[in-house]
A and B are shown apart, each in its own frame.
Chain A
Amino acid sequence: MSRTSAIAALPGFRLTVGYTVLYLSLIVLLPLVALFLKAAGLGWNDFIAAAFNPRVMASYWLTFGTAFIAAVINAAFGLAVAWTLVRYRFPGRRLIDALVDLPFALPTAVSGIALTAVYSQNGWIGQWLEPLGIKVAFTSTGIVVALVFIGLPFVVRTLQPALEDLEREVEEAAASLGATPIQTFIRVTLPAILPALLTGFALAFARAIGEYGSVVFISGNMPMKTEVTSLLIVTKLEQYDAAGAAAIAVVMLAVSFTLLLGINLLQRLSGRRHLAGV
């Protein structure tokens, strides 16, 4: 049944699959292969030297650390935003809904410059935080702020459909059986949306790891302290060291891939447990 309708909509399985494979090869696979080949040209010792010297290591910790923190923040607050948008009808809801997409559309450099202006020592928010001893711009805190900004829509947009699918009757049943709102949320709602939440988290995390445009403006780019890996890669390229840049990129890719694979497994487990529970 579903197959016949698919044939009606698109010009046949072979053609679409062929197109998909070609498209992905040209745009994703080929550049990645080129990347690995470039890095392979270095030889083992040079590869280690380029990809694991102390400065690069410092940037890995910073990049993955800030990306993780930002994704956690996004998971929590993105859930709140998605919840509000799905569950309540209030004036301005459409506007807020549209605002969520803004980080998708904005060039990241623009958001970086805007965030730096707001959070630097003379900025609208920075001037109030600085006397309290909280420095945001040009510290790792600033990097987290930028990464939260660019990652938010990923969580909200993956959670919204899951929340909409959720049947309110289940929650009402829980409440009528004497569960508190918090108990209901933790034992009924959360398990149902956990796979979507993890997906949103993973997308926001992956996006943050590679972020360059907004971070270069707000981080201050100090070696060993606030220098993210993507900046180091660009620095290498500007010194005409394509192989060195590729070496760092390959390490980043490997780590991200492993992390995403882990999250994917987690997703499956949580999805299965939830289904078994029902």
Chain B
Amino acid sequence: MTRLAPYAALALLLAPIAGCGPSSQADASGRTPSGEPAKAGKVTLLNVSYDPTRELYQEYNKLFAKKWREEAGQEVTIEQSHGGAGKQARAVIDGLRADIVTLAIGYDIDEIAQQTQRLPINWQSRLPHRSSPYTSTIVFLVRKGNPKEIKDWDDLVKTGIEVITPNPKTSGGARYNYLAAWGYALRQNDKNEDKAKEFISALFKNVPVLDSGARGATTTFVQREIGDVLLTWENEALLALRELGEGEVEMVVPSVSVLAEPPVAVVDKNAEAHGALEAANAYLQGLYAPEGQKLAAKHFYRPQSTEHADKADLERFAEIELFSVDDEFGGWQEAQKKHFVDGGVFDAIYQP
């Protein structure tokens, strides 16, 4: 028995790894590991995205395939990969052959550009609106009837209020939550950073659970019924309202919030290697075209140009004062360095 133990342990460790070894790379990228260019007349695109865009891109892919067949006479198959934004970026850095990345924050694509050199550092200036074809913001979801009377950011730091948000260290959406609250506090306190720090500390003292991603936090709030208010993307909140038939939760729009700009980019070298560069560029430009903008609005994202969207879709977006991460924090690199790195402001909240 004693002698068998290490082998038993090894066998248990190896069994799951061995099972999915050699085939996984081909599966993940959808083509052979050699990365042979696809035949002319037929092309495959891999769009690596984050969680809440699944439905949007499912619909957009059909639209684009049809358009591309008509315009370029080429059959295009689009594969989607969804997951937490950080994990997705990590996968692309580690070699997932994405032709297109559509992630939650610019920082993730910056990292891909820096670490792989498969797209230029200035990727964000290549498409209009800093490469964000649609935007969103951070709003509150509260219980039906809003029993705790939560109306604005101030109400979140009161004693006895439980706030649900994912961990800013693991979730792009949670970073927006944090920066939205910080921006509000700055506005309330004449840009006094110490006051903003106090505010954000008080807010996170009211957080009983830190989920690692946005969907997990929504589950904690909606299904487990924990907490009085959920900080979440506007598109996730609207989706939750639709899914729950507005029966259990309500959306509350704060006086001011952050402009969330989920960016898109072509990973040039990957697309080139598959002979898919042209299609990949057209795919992203199509997001800015009337049909793309209309679809974004339908899936609860704020389109950059509103004239093509359905009126009814646009009416769901409340008037709200928005500040961008670039204007308020000097961009993602700066925000990351100050707030979310190890030893940054967010970590200081939990120092003993």
Contact = CB atoms under 8 A, between A and B. Distances in A.
A240 B10 CA distance: 29
A267 B2 contact: yes
B90 A27 contact: no
Contact of A158 (B8, B86, B226): B8
B342 A244 contact: yes
Interface in B1-36: 1-2, 5, 8-10, 12-14, 17-18
A239 B105 CA distance: 13
B8 A27 contact: no
Interface string A12-40: 00000000000010011000000000000
Given A27-B18, A138-B208, A221 B167 contact: yes
A220 B165 CA distance: 11
Interface string A240-271: 11001000000000000000000010011001
B24 to A, nearest CB: 14
Interface stretch (B140-148, B194-202, B209-217, B247-255): B209-217
Nearest to A270: B2
B351 A54 contact: yes
B296 to A, nearest CB: 27
Contacts of B169: 235, 238-239
Given A195-B2, A196-B1, A122 B9 contact: no
Interface in A107-131: 113, 116-117, 120-123
Nearest to B225: A122
Interface string B321-352: 00000000000000000001110000100111
B212 A55 contact: no
Given A158-B8, A199-B1, A223 B350 contact: yes
Q: How large is the interface on B (under 10, 10 to 19, 20 to 34, 35 or more residues)?
A: 35 or more
A217 B219 CA distance: 10
Interface string A67-108: 000000000000000000000000000000000000010000
Given A27-B18, A223-B350, A224-B350, A237 B209 contact: no
Interface in B158-179: 167, 169-170
A24 B2 CA distance: 20
Contacts of B216: 217
Nearest to A202: B5
Contacts of A179: none
B209 A220 contact: yes
Contacts of A154: 12
B87 interface: yes
Contact of A221 (B86, B90, B209, B226): B209
A271 B2 contact: yes
26 contacts: A27-B14, A27-B17, A54-B351, A104-B12, A116-B224, A121-B226, A158-B5, A161-B1, A162-B1, A195-B2, A199-B2, A207-B12, A216-B212, A220-B208, A220-B210, A221-B210, A222-B209, A222-B210, A231-B212, A235-B170, A238-B84, A238-B86, A238-B169, A239-B169, A241-B342, A267-B2
Counting from the closest, the 7 A-B pairs by CB-CB distance are A238-B86, A223-B350, A220-B209, A221-B210, A199-B5, A120-B224, A235-B169
Given A202-B5, A220-B210, A235-B170, 4 more contacts: A137-B224, A217-B216, A239-B342, A264-B2
Interface of A: 24, 27-28, 50, 53-55, 104, 113, 116-117, 120-123, 137-138, 154, 158, 161-162, 195-196, 199, 202-203, 206-207, 216-217, 220-224, 231, 234-241, 244, 264, 267-268, 271
